[in-house]
A and B are shown apart, each in its own frame.
Chain A
Amino acid sequence: MISIILQQEAIDAASIIGQAGTAADGAVVSFTGRVRTPSREKTVLSIDYEVYGEMAQKQLRKIAEEACSRWPLSHCTIVHRYGGVAVGEASIVIVASSPHRKEAFQAVQFIIDTVKEEVPIWKKEFYSDGSNWVHEKE
């Protein structure tokens, strides 16, 4: 089962983890990406995430489907925030469940790596003295 959510409000990771998996799943693996400071030697106050909603939904679903085809996942949930996210808050939560841990770990690693490469979401960091679009590869 795949669940893709783009939301403005805070992510309730515990609830997503609690609902993941079936009796056959010995492993529920989660990844939480959080807004951090400092970044590029500047004190970050918050990040504003801009999302191309329709395309991000499609891309996230493709990535989840790819993960489900590579590993035996019973659940795969990807939640990404948009709008302002404060330091320490989660910007993304990924949860995958499978009978054994190895597959779920690999799937979650694959998903976060691919999200960062392919999903049309952009972050703008806000500092006490200005703001800047972030391009990961810079």
Chain B
Amino acid sequence: MKIKIKAFASAREAFGFDEKELTVSDGIAVKDVIRQLAKSYQPAPGRDMHLLYSINEEYCRDDATLSEGDRLAIFPPVSGG
């Protein structure tokens, strides 16, 4: 199945993309998508960063599972305001 993935801020810089489409196995968990992405992870200082996740613009845990067409986002702790 296909999902869309977005990365923001230091996660965008570390993973080296802001948005892309991925083909993944049905029902894959967020953490397994991250593991797959991490293969192309730059060995940057942000490597061990704390990441947060959302599916379809709602926060989720890393064991949440994905469905066809989902929009996954990965990002560091927020710092707005």
Give chain A's interface residues, CB within 8 Å of chain B.
33, 49-52, 54-56, 58, 80, 91-92, 112, 115-124, 133-137
CB distance from A16 to the nearest CB of B (A): 17
Q: CB distance A55 to B78 under 8 Å?
A: no
Give the contacting residue for B80; candidates A49, A58, A133, A137; CB below 8 A: A49
Q: CB distance B57 to A121 under 8 Å?
A: no
Q: CB distance B79 to A123 under 8 Å?
A: yes
- Give a binary string over B1-43; 1 marks a CB under 8 Å from any A CB, 0 the rest: 0000010111010000000000000000000000000000000
A contacts with B: majority SS: mixed
CA–CA, A119 to B59, complex, Å? Answer: 10
Give the contacting residue for B75; candidates A52, A91, A124; CB below 8 A: A52
Q: CB distance A120 to B81 under 8 Å?
A: no
| B interface residue count range (under 10 / 10 to 19 / 20 to 34 / 35 or more) | 10 to 19
**Which A residue sits closest to B59, measured CB to CB?**
A118
Q: CB distance B81 to A50 under 8 Å?
A: no
> In the assembled complex, which residues on chain A have CB atoms less than 8 Å from the CB atom of B78?
116-122
CA–CA, A49 to B79, complex, Å? Answer: 9
Known: A136-B79, A137-B77. A120 touches B54 (CB 8 A): yes
> In the assembled complex, which residues on chain A have CB atoms less than 8 Å from the CB atom of B77?
135-137
- Give a binary string over B42-75; 1 marks a CB under 8 Å from any A CB, 0 the rest: 0000000000001001110000000000000101
Q: CB distance B73 to A133 under 8 Å?
A: no
> In the assembled complex, which residues on chain A have CB atoms less than 8 Å from the CB atom of B80?
49, 51, 56, 80, 91-92, 115-116, 119-123
Interface centre among B6, B8, B57, B81 (most CB of A within 10 A): B81
Q: CB distance A92 to B81 under 8 Å?
A: yes
CA–CA, A117 to B8, complex, Å? Answer: 16
> In the assembled complex, which residues on chain B have CB atoms less than 8 Å from the CB atom of A54?
57
Q: CB distance B57 to A124 under 8 Å?
A: no
CA–CA, A11 to B67, complex, Å? Answer: 39
Can you sample 27 A-B contacts with CB below 8 Å? A33-B81, A51-B80, A52-B6, A52-B73, A55-B54, A56-B80, A58-B57, A91-B80, A92-B80, A115-B81, A116-B78, A117-B78, A118-B59, A118-B78, A119-B78, A120-B73, A120-B80, A121-B78, A121-B79, A121-B81, A122-B8, A122-B10, A133-B9, A133-B10, A135-B76, A135-B77, A137-B77
